[in-house]
Amino acid sequence: MIATLQPSHSLEPATSGLVVANLESVNKNYGNVRALRHVNFGVRAGEVVALLGPNGAGKTTAVKLLLGLLLPNSGRVRVFGGDPTNPENRMRTGAMLQVGRVPETLRVREHIDLFSTYYQKPMPTAEILAAAGLEKLRDRKFGELSGGQKQRVLFALAICGDPDLLFLDEPTVGLDVEARRMLWDEIRQLVSRGKTVLLTTHYLQEADALADRVAVINQGEIIAEGTPSEIKAQTAGKRIRCITSLNISVLRRIPGVTEVKEDREAVELHAAEAEPVLRELLARDSTLSGLEVTSAGLEEAFLALTQDSSNNGNHSN
Amino acid sequence: MSTATMILSNAQIRRSPRHTATIYLKEAKYEFLKNLRLRMYTASVLSFPIMFYILFGLVLNSNQAIGGLRVPTYLIATYGTFGVMGASLFGTAAGLSSDRGLGWLQVKRASPMPPFAYFAAKVVTSMVFSAIIVLALFTLGIALGGVRMPLADFARLLGTLVAGSLPFSAMGLAVGYFTGPNSAPPTINLIYLPMSFCSGLWVPFMFLPKVVRQIALVLPPYHLSQLALGVVGAGTHESTAAHWEVLIAFTMICLGVARIGFQRDQEEMYG
């Protein structure tokens, strides 16, 4: 359904960039609940990485470890080559976290004024307001804002120190389509200024629209990693449906076919790439009819991935 | 990495003293504005002691005396203590438990804010609200209750009561670390209202039953009110130094408890 979405920016993924933040063999438990299991994950300078997973997969935990708000039970967390709690690092990072209640009686510009003060070289207030689309709301009290507007204030607080590295934890959760697209535009503008971004999301569309690289996380483990198109190819690929006289066991042996299902009079094949399989099919069966080739969306890819990895693991946040 | 180094390392950001001062000032300014605009805070914390004073000190008993002291003067000391206690407990505990429980404190901790600025802002704001309450009582007492005393005594009374905000701010921090966003206000009320009664802040101390007077000896508001009454010439019991010692000891205990909560939070934050 969303397979044709392209990242908005044409830059190549910064595969050669310096790793600015990473988790090395990190385990994190909350009591008996294993939130992260042996996670290795890195973000390179200048890239936008999406940590994609369902609720409770461990996304927020990963972000909080990288922000130095949590300590791992084992493994190592590095940001800019140092400890994430290093205060100099906090000068260079910005964070948008999920917050239950922000002080509601302060005005938008007052919140921004206070956070800007913490940094050595804050962005000018006018730029922050513009970047977050808050110019008209600057004198509004936080409690008077809509959900989307509140998210934009949190976004403004994350960027007000003009950080090199930005963590966005579920930036558009609970927003309507319009508000979500607005925030995406704001994130893209930041990216075009060379910022490194790690965002978590459970919206596949969001990862596809914003990220250079996607890491799929489920039940505390990274189960797939790659560009959005690689993730799609790796898992779902193409679905080929046709009516053929070839029997199932023959179909299964065609190179590239990962799955075969009978569907009434037709069969449905799954393959990473359709073309080689089609050549083979047509060569072997001249009576083949009713051919349909569709590509599975990222949504399906994601479901396939997370269902594959679902065993009896624990859920946590 | 240990908690101690986490805390220390945050103090090591190289900022000019001027920049650091600006952060502390702004943190306190916005904490003050935040509470000032919070109707729940101002309505209960500011207006209760003032309304009680008007009713019991100016309207009803203004011509009577307690222990040789005119009621309007006596009640400035006791309702002053009551006001300071409420402003400080609610000012620290309610905000802290909500900020902790609902994620706002994590946003601040992820920023380069000096952690101490956050607590300092709460304590300073409580002192400012305490001063506002005491000055309002002075104004009412002078204008409507015929309260007269040397300017130096007014200053000493103000100073005593505002300094008396500290033990209750410390207590508020301790409560804020061990309550959730919903349980903090009822917990404070559960501490604050019985303590006020037993310490003689509503009914003058000598009219309280003997058992209650015994209990009062271990309650910080009793000691603060006795210090305040001492300034206006109605202190009854222990020496001034003894009252201060109890308040200082109480402050240290509360800060110790708050510190345990702080470290616990640093070590394991939830989800």
**pLDDT averages per 10-residue partition of chain B, 271 residues:** 42 79 96 93 89 88 80 92 95 92 92 93 96 96 90 94 96 94 91 90 84 89 93 78 92 95 72 35
- The ipTM value here is 0.88
Cβ contacts from A onto B, under 8 A: 102
Question: Distance, in angstroms, between A157 CA and closest chain B CA?
Answer: 9
Helix, strand or coil for residue A51? Answer: strand
pLDDT at A26 over 70: yes
Contact A102 B104 (CB under 8 A): yes
Q: How far apart are CA A136 and CA A120, in angstroms?
A: 27
Cα–Cα distance, A127 to A77 (Å, whole number): 32
Between A184 and A259, the more confident residue is A184
Most confidently modeled of A138-147, A262-271, B237-246? A138-147
Q: Counting Cβ atoms within 10 Å, is residue A211 exposed (0-12), middle (13-18) or buried (19+)?
A: buried
* Residue pair A41/A60 in contact by the 8 Å Cβ criterion: no
| Beta carbons of A87 and B1 less than 8 Å apart | no
Here the tokens at position B154 are: 């007014």
Q: A108: alpha, beta or left, given left = phi > 0 and alpha = psi -120 to 50?
A: alpha
pLDDT in the model for residue B264: 84
Contacts B1 to A, Cβ<8 Å: 71, 83, 85
Contact: B1, A316; criterion CB under 8 Å? no
Report the C-alpha gap between B247 and B161 in whole angstroms. Answer: 12
- A142 at interface of B, judged by CB pairs closer than 8 A: no
What is the fold, at CATH topology level, of the domain defined by A19-227?
Rossmann fold (3.40.50)
pLDDT band (50, 70, 90) for residue A4? very low
User: Could you tell me how many residues make up chain B?
Assistant: 271
Q: Would you state the pLDDT for residue A190?
A: 84
Nearest CA in chain A to B103: A99
Q: pLDDT tens, A304-313?
A: 666 655 543 4
Query: With a CB-CB cutoff of 8 Å, which residues 107-166 of chain B face chain A?
Result: 107, 109-113
Residue A13 has pLDDT above 60, yes or no: no
State how beta strands A48-52 and A213-218 pair: parallel
DSSP B163: H
* pLDDT reading at A168 higher than 70: yes
Domain ranges of chain A: 19-227, 237-295
d(CA A208, CA A269): 25
- Name the band, by pLDDT with cuts 50, 70 and 90, for residue A71: confident
Contact A110 B33 (CB under 8 A): yes
Assigned CATH topology for domain A237-295? Alpha-Beta Plaits (3.30.70)
What was the pLDDT predicted at A88? 85
Torsion angle in degrees (nearest 10) through CA of B123, B128, B133, B134: 100
- In this prediction, residue A16 carries a pLDDT of 53
In B66-105, the residues whose Cβ lies within 8 Å of chain A are: 98, 101-104
Where exactly are the structural domains of chain B?
17-267
Mean pLDDT, to the nearest integer, of A99-118? Answer: 94
Optimal mutation site among A71, A83, A153, A157, interface B, most CBs of chain B within 10 A: A71
Number of neighbouring beta carbons within 10 Å of residue A193: 9
Residues 6 or more apart from B127 whose CB is under 8 A from it? B88, B162, B165, B166, B169
Residues B138 and A182: their CA atoms lie apart, in Å, by 54
Structure confidence at residue A303 (pLDDT): 65
Whether residue B267 and residue A71 make contact (CB cut-off 8 A), yes or no, is: yes
Question: How high is the pLDDT of residue B164?
Answer: 95
Q: What is the largest distance, in Å, between two alpha-carbon atoms of chain A?
A: 74
pTM of the predicted protein model: 0.81
**Does residue A85 belong to the interface with chain B, where contact is any CB pair within 8 Å?**
yes
Measured between alpha carbons, how far is A311 from B30 in angstroms, rounded to an integer?
A: 49
The mean-pLDDT minimum among A204-213, A234-243, A269-278 falls in A234-243
Round to whole Å and give the CA distance between A317 and A30.
Answer: 9
User: CB–CB of A157 and B6 under 8 A?
Assistant: no
Going by C-alpha positions, the residue among A267, A309, A307 that lies closest to residue A290 is A267
What pLDDT does residue A256 have?
A: 82
Q: Mean of the pLDDT values across residues A296-302?
A: 60
* Cβ neighbours for A234, distance < 8 A, ≥ 6 positions apart: A224, A226, A272, A301
